Amino acid sequence: MKVNVIFVFILLLTVTLESRGQNRTGNDGIITVDVRKSYTAKKELILQDFMDVEYIKLETNDEFVNQGFVRTIGNKFILVTNNTGDGDIFVYDRTGKALRKINRRGQGGEEYTNIYTITLDEDNGEMFVSDNMTRKILVYDLYGKFKRSFKHRASNFNDGGINRTSFYTDVYNFDRDNLICYDAVNEKVAFVLISKKDGSITKEIITPFKEKKKFFITVSRDAATGNENVVTPGYYRAITPHYGAWILSEFSTDTVYTFSQDYSLRPLIVRTPKIQSMKPEIFLLPRLMTKRYYFMETVKMELLPEGGFPRIFLMYDTQEKALSGYTLYNGDFTAKNEIYVNLASPVNHEIIAWYPLEAFKLVESYKKGELKGKLKDIAAKLDEEDNRVIMLIKQKK
C-alpha cells in the first residue's frame, strides 16, 4: 500500500501541463487533462473512418417486444431487457434472432427482485444477474435455470449520518474463474476481482484516494426517516474493457488506470487540479475509448437553473497528442447524423460499445433518402413499431 501511494504522489508531481489546451503525453505516455478548460475548438470525425460498424436488427414478435436495452453481448448471444423493472430477459442470437424469454423475478431465494447488471459467460454457459436491492449476484444458465448465488462484498459508508451499503455497480467477465467489479461506496478499495463460484474476493485492486467522492447531489433529506431526494448526472462506467486490458476510473482519485490480465496497474490519464481540492468537484468520465481517440466528458457537480449539470465533451487524439472538442458522425447517413458518445455503452474487448437506433427514426430517415449501405438495407424492411436496431462499434480489422 505504501509503495502504491508513493508512486502516485511522485507521478502527480512529475506530470507537466502545456498551455492552450494542447496537453501532451510525456515519455511515459501518460495523458494529462485540465478539467477546468472548455476545449472549444472542435474536430469533426466520421466513426467509420477509424472503427468498424455492425448493425443488428432485434427481431420483433408477439413475445419479443421490448425497449432494447442491451445488457451484454457475446460471440453467440445478446441479452436485452426493458427499463421497466419487469424482470424480463430477452435472449437473442448474435444475428438478432429471438430465441427465448426468461423471467426469474420474485422474492424467493433463486429469484432476483431487480436487475442492475447482467454479465455473460459463454464459456461456462452462465449469466450473472446482479440485484442491487438484495446485494446479491444470482447465476443462471442461458435457459434461466438457477445454479447458485452469492452476496456482494459487505461494506458501508457513513455519509453525514446516512449509512450507505455498497453493491457492485459494474460487473464484467474478467477470465474463466473471476469477475471484475466496481464498488462505488467502499471507502478504501473500489475495484476487486471476485470468484465466479462463491463471490469471494480473489484480488483487491488498489487505486489510492483520500476521501470518497459522491456522484450525486442531495437536494433534501428527511432527518427522521433518512430518506433522500438526490440528483445525479446520469449513468457512467467505472470499468471499461480496452483492447485486452481494463480502464479503471474512480472519481475519488486523480488518475485513470489500465489494469491488465497479468494484474499490472498502469496510469493512463491524470486529471488536474486534484479532485480532493475542488468544491464543487469537476469529474472526468472516460466514455468511448478507441485506439486513436479517447472520448471523455467533464461534469461539474452543481445544478444549473434550467436543470442538469454543466458538461464539457472532449477528445484526446493519440496520434496528434492533443486535446480538443469534437463532433462525431455516423457515416451511414447521407446528412450529418451526430453520435452522442454518452449513449455508447461499453461491451467487451472486441465490441468497444453498442449504440441504440430507434426503428421509427430509421424508417423516417429511410423515407427521406438519408441512409446508405447496410443501414439503408435494414431500414427498408423495418416497421415503425419494431424493436431497436443496435449499432456495434468494433475494432478496425
Kindly report, residue by residue over 251-279, the tens digit of the pLDDT. 999 999 999 999 999 999 999 999 999 99
Contact 121, 72 (CB under 8 A): no
Which of 11-15, 27-31, 285-289 has the lowest average pLDDT? 11-15
Cα(324)–Cα(314) distance, rounded to whole angstroms?
Answer: 6
Give the burial string for 294-319 (b: 16+ CB within 10 Å, else e): bbbbbbbbeeeeeeebeebbbbbeee
pLDDT for 92 equals: 98
Does residue 242 have a pLDDT over 80?
yes
Which of 29-33, 95-99, 150-154 has the lowest average pLDDT? 150-154
- Which residue(s) pair with 69 in the sheet? 81
Q: What percent of the chain has pLDDT over 70?
A: 89
Kindly report, residue by residue over 325-341, the tens digit of the pLDDT. 999 999 999 999 999 99
- Which residue(s) pair with 231 in the sheet? 217
- Angle subtended at Cα 42 by Cα 40 and Cα 48, rounded to the nearest 5 degrees: 150
Q: Across residues 8-20, what is the average pLDDT?
A: 35
Residue with cell 459463454: 122
Q: pTM for the whole thing?
A: 0.88
pLDDT for 158 equals: 59
Q: Report all structural domains of the chain as residue ranges with CATH numbers, in order of start.
A: 24-394 (2.130.10)
Kindly report, residue by residue over 172-205, the tens digit of the pLDDT. 999 999 999 999 888 888 999 999 999 999 999 9
Q: Across residues 131-145, what is the average pLDDT?
A: 95
With the C-alpha atoms ordered 43, 286, 348, 77, is the resulting torsion angle positive or negative? negative
pLDDT for 23 equals: 44
pLDDT for 164 equals: 64
Nearest alpha carbon to residue 94 among 347, 330, 305, 327: 347
Q: Categorise residue 48: left if φ over 0, alpha if ψ from -120 to 50, beta otherwise.
A: alpha
Does residue 225 have a pLDDT over 90?
no
25 or 305, greater pLDDT: 305
Rg of the chain taking only CA atoms, in angstroms: 22
Q: What percent of the chain has pLDDT over 90?
A: 77
278 contacts: CB under 8 Å, gap ≥ 6: none
The letter for the amino acid at 341 is: V
308 contacts: CB under 8 Å, gap ≥ 6: 233
Cα(63)–Cα(79) distance, rounded to whole angstroms?
Answer: 15
Cα(378)–Cα(362) distance, rounded to whole angstroms?
Answer: 9
